[in-house]
Structure 1
C-alpha cells in the first residue's frame, strides 16, 4: 500500500513527466521573468493540481551541483505553494548567473514569480 502524501508533498500528479507535457507548455506559454529565473506557465482547462517542470540547462549553469541545488530550491518552493495555485502547468528555466545566487535569494525570486501567475 503506497504512503499517502501530505498536501504539502510533491506527488507524481504535481509534476510534468513526459515530453508531451513540456511541449504543451512551450507551445503557448505565458512568460514571467525574474533576474535569474524565467517561469513559463500555461493554464489547463481541466481541474487538478498545479504541475511543475524544471529545465535548468548546462548552458546557463555549468556545474551539476549548482543545477541540482536550483532544482531542490524550486521544488521546495513549489511544494509549499502548489495548493494555492490555480490549475496551471509551470516550467522554471534558469538564466545566466543563477548558479551563483544564494539559496534565500533564489527562494524569494521563485515565490515572487509564483505570485505573479495568479
Structure 2
C-alpha cells in the first residue's frame, strides 16, 4: 500500500541519528554543554560527524508509566527531527528531571522549542569541546 509507506517514512528515526551504545551516552555525560528547563535537560557534545545524533534517557522516576515515558520520547524525537538541520555534528542526550509533566505535550514541545536554540548558542560559545 503506497500511502502507508509514505506516511511511515515521515516518522522514521534511522539508526544513524541515534545514540545506541553505552559508551556513546557516557561520552556525552562526561563532558557536555547542558541546557535545562521545566524537568527536561539536553546535553550535547561534538561527535565528529556531519549530522547530529540523539539519545534518550527518560527516567522512570520522573515519568512513572511506560506510556508517559514513551510520550516524552516521542515529543523529543519529533522536535529533534524538526531542528536537526541546525544542530550540526552533535551527540545530544535528553534526560528527565523532577518537574517534568509528561502529560502535557504542548508544554513539552514549547520547552524544547526554547531549549534547542539555547543549546546551539551555548555549543557555539563553548571552548570546553
Cα distance in structure 2, aligned partners of 1:101 and 1:36:
13
1:83-113 deviation digits (Å, cap 9, x = unpaired): 1212101101111232345101101111211
Is the radius of gyration larger for structure 1 or structure 2?
A: 2
CA contact under 8 A between 2:34 and 2:119: conserved in structure 1? no
- State the shift of 1:47 in Å: 2.9
Give the Cα separation in 2 of the matches to 1:71 and 1:8.
13
| Aligned residue in 2 for 1:102 | 104
User: For the structure 1 residues 103 and 7, does the alpha-carbon distance in structure 2 shift closer, same or farther, using more than 3 Å as the test?
Assistant: closer
TM-score by length of 1: 0.85
Residue 91 of structure 2: SS of its match in structure 1? strand
Match of 2:60, SS? Answer: coil
Q: What is the correspondence of 1:6-45 to structure 2 with a 5 Å cutoff? A: 9-44=12-47
Moved over 3 A (4+): 6-9
Give the TM-score taking structure 2 as reference length: 0.79
Gaps of 5+ in 2: 121-129
- CA RMSD, Structure 1 to Structure 2 (Å): 2.2
Partner of 2:49: 47
The structure where helix makes up a greater share of residues is: 2
Q: CA deviation at 1:63?
A: 1.3
